[in-house]
Amino acid sequence: MQKLTFLTCIGTRPEIIKMAPVHKALQSLGHRALVIHTGQHEAIAHELYRFFDMPPDIVIDLQRKSSSLAHLTAALSDGLEAAMQNLQPDIILVQGDTTSAFIGALIGYYHNVPVAHVEAGLRTHQRDPFPEEKNRELIGRLARWHFPPTEQASSNLLAERIPAERIFEVGNTVIDAALWTRERLQRRTSESRQAIPAAARAFLGDYPHHQLILVTAHRRENWGEPIRQIARAVGTLLSEHPDTIALWPVHPNPDVRQDVEDAFRQMPQPVRDRICLTAPLEYPALIEVLARCHFTLTDSGGIQEEASAFAKPVLIARNSTERQELVDAGGARLVGTDAEQILLHAGRLLNDEISYRNMQVEHSPFGDGKSAQRIAAILSSTACGVLVDA
Ligand code: UDP
């Protein structure tokens, strides 16, 4: 088998998490796996790279002068172009739908380097999520290998006339990472204890028998009133259910923080005592909390998938989802951000054991933990033919 050089372009936390298993699988087949980090989510990224033992080979300092997407696109193009010339990869790997992933695919196209797209084919068929929906659609036009996680994602690609022989349905590597992390935490109990920050650990220690709800909200379309509604719903839920606590890693955006904290301040003290607002958790801590929670109320895509690997019900605080598979399998409900709706569905999970059990999926529709091995094997066995054609 020919040994190849793969270059993975990464911009955000979920990309690190979802590409780490692929990186390891490629290395274990003897390939050279390089990583380029485009400098977003800096503080969180460093810790994650360390956790997965995947130090980036190049870090691009984007020198952002404005927050506009046009500027980001231009800065990423310049940075990735220079890195491409230095590293001379055989194949570029991109994941998901960030602007980094899109520009990575575009630079691959400019240099005639074939692109593999991990977690391909997710669609809402709406403008939102913006700009992610367009990014993933455009990557679909550029990639040579498409690795959709599910049948639904595969059929989205086929509907866009992507040739069937380029589509490989492999599951989602997020499940590989979640199972690997939980297993590692179970083996290394001291690491598991330390994963959760001290204040959150003390909070959980104070309520060992309460039912824990993990809450997260970060999507741009939920900023402002939707997040205030989510916070109000959580406050009311806890006041109606004294045996319940909530842990909410709050997104670092100052407006999001402000909205959550304002809603929190208006709650009566006994309810406030049972909510722990923390900074975003490091990934192992997030996995530890998710594995321990009763259910999660979230707008995060990754958390929906991870929750399914641990059979935890998910209430999706969005109006649309590109992960309908879990809704269809019964493991998630699209509850939107209206406080009344959230209360209705969350109340059902807390009051009715049968409703709760019905939402515990036996198998995750997103994968079995072996997606990265499949991706590495497919790339290894098909790359030669593709490189000859390129
Ligand atoms: N995550 C984390 N700490 C947190 C919240 C999320 O490590 O406080 C992880 C989570 O486990 C998942 C990923 O970040 O793997 C999801 O990222 P995010 O919710 O930011 O984006 P999305 O999945 O919606 O694109």
Task: Convert the pLDDT of each residue in 209-231 to its tens digit.
Answer: 999 999 999 988 899 999 999 99
Question: pLDDT, tens digit, for every residue of 320-352?
Answer: 888 999 999 999 999 999 999 999 999 999 999
Chain-centroid distance of CA 194 in Å reads 22
Beta strand ranges found along the chain (DSSP E): 5-10, 32-37, 58-59, 91-95, 115-118, 145-147, 211-216, 244-249, 275-278, 295-298, 314-316, 332-334
Residue 303, ligand 1, Cβ within 6 A: yes
Phi and psi at residue 69, to the nearest 5°:
-65, -35
In angstroms, what is the span from residue 302 Cα to ligand 1's centroid?
Answer: 6
Residue 41, ligand 1, Cβ within 6 A: no
Q: What is the mean pLDDT of the chain?
A: 94
Q: Among 118, 286, 316, 364, which residue has the most ligand 1 atoms within 8 Å of its CB, making it the best to mutate?
A: 286
Residue 249, ligand 1, Cβ within 6 A: yes
Angle at CA of residue 387, ends 384 and 390, nearest 5°: 155
pLDDT of residue 92: 98
pLDDT of residue 192: 76
**3-class secondary structure, 388:** helix
Residue 197, ligand 1, Cβ within 6 A: no
Map out the domains of the chain with their CATH numbers: 5-172+368-389 (3.40.50.2000), 198-358 (3.40.50.2000)
Q: Which atom of ligand 1 is nearest to the CA of 48?
A: 7
